[in-house]
């Protein structure tokens, strides 16, 4: 059999000379089959790869990712600042309420002390009048009616030689309610100072939310500018403000 078409014709002619004329059917059977188009197409593109080319990301993909991270962190920190501000506001309200209650208690105890002092002054006046009129029996009777806390100061006054200031100026004279009133006043002062400090903590967290709002503004604005340089500048400012706010936030007290 002859493979190529020209050689096949010459071969066929030689075959007819040697063996006689050949029919068309035999001629067709002796011709080589045509190559399939699929095989030809495959042979014409030997270098074609069936693997898909990986999709390339847009140039601003990294910057958009950074913006997303900045916005997410800022949103969480802003929510935390709002939570802490409300917590410290609650602590401030409680402290103010306790300070007010302590003030009321101090006033009540001071009123009791003043009432006791007034009673002692009344009895002391009668005692002095009895001594001035040399009514020894009346003076002794009144002396027996001295209150316990006044009797301590009276004996100290006698021991000091009866100074003209009287027993009411003695350190030993402490009418009931005096110590309690002083303690309640001190407690009220302390709680009032705590309330002012708690209020300052809440204000600090509120001010910090303003700084984080600037971070959100610059980060969001960086995605709207057409200039890559401007986008990078605004995003850089947002990151700087975010780092600054985070460092400041780390110094604030936490109330949970």
**Count of CB atoms within 10 A of residue 150's CB?**
25
pLDDT range class, residue 251, cuts 50, 70, 90 = very high
How many Å apart are CA 106 and CA 104, to the nearest integer? Answer: 5
E strands present in the chain: none
- Say how far residue 179 (Cα) sits from the centre of its chain: 42
CA distance 63 to 121: 85
Structure tokens at 212: 């984080």
Of the spans 5-9, 12-16, 242-246, which averages the highest pLDDT?
A: 242-246
Q: What local confidence, expressed as pLDDT, does residue 27 receive?
A: 52
Average pLDDT score over residue span 140-167 = 88
At 1, the pLDDT band (50, 70, 90 cuts) reads: very low
Q: How far apart are CA 113 and CA 119, in angstroms?
A: 10
Q: Mind listing the pLDDT tens digit for each residue in 158-190?
A: 888 888 888 998 889 999 999 999 999 999 999
30: pLDDT strictly greater than 70 = no
In the three-class reduction of DSSP (H, G, I as helix; E, B as strand; rest coil), residue 17 is classed as helix
Higher pLDDT, 198 or 54: 198
Q: pLDDT band at residue 44, thresholds of 50, 70 and 90?
A: very low
Cα 256 from Cα 251, distance rounded (Å): 16
Q: Which residue, 58, 88, 74, is CA-closest to 209?
A: 74
């Amino acid at each position: 059999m002859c493979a190529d078409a020209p050689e096949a014709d010459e071969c066929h002619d030689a075959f007819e000379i040697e063996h006689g004329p050949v029919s068309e059917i035999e001629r067709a059977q002796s011709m080589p089959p045509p190559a399939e188009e699929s095989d030809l197409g495959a042979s014409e593109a030997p270098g074609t790869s069936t693997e898909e080319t990986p999709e390339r990301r847009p140039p601003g993909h990294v910057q958009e990712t950074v913006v997303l991270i900045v916005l997410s962190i800022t949103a969480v920190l802003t929510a935390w600042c709002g939570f802490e501000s409300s917590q410290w506001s609650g602590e401030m309200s409680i402290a103010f309420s306790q300070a007010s209650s302590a003030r009321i208690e101090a006033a009540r105890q001071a009123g009791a002390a003043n009432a006791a002092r007034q009673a002692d002054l009344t009895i002391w006046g009668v005692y002095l009048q009895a001594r001035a009129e040399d009514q020894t029996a009346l003076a002794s009777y009144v002396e027996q009616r001295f209150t316990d806390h006044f009797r301590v100061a009276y004996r100290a006054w006698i021991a000091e030689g009866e100074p003209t200031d009287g027993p009411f100026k003695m350190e030993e004279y402490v009418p009931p309610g005096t110590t309690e009133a002083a303690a309640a006043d001190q407690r009220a002062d302390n709680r009032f100072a705590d309330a002012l400090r708690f209020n300052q903590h809440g204000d600090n967290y509120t001010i910090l939310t303003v700084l984080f709002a600037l971070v959100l503004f610059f980060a969001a604005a960086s995605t709207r500018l057409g200039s890559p340089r401007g986008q990078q500048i605004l995003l850089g400012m947002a990151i700087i403000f975010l780092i600054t706010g985070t460092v400041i936030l780390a110094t604030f007290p936490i109330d949970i």
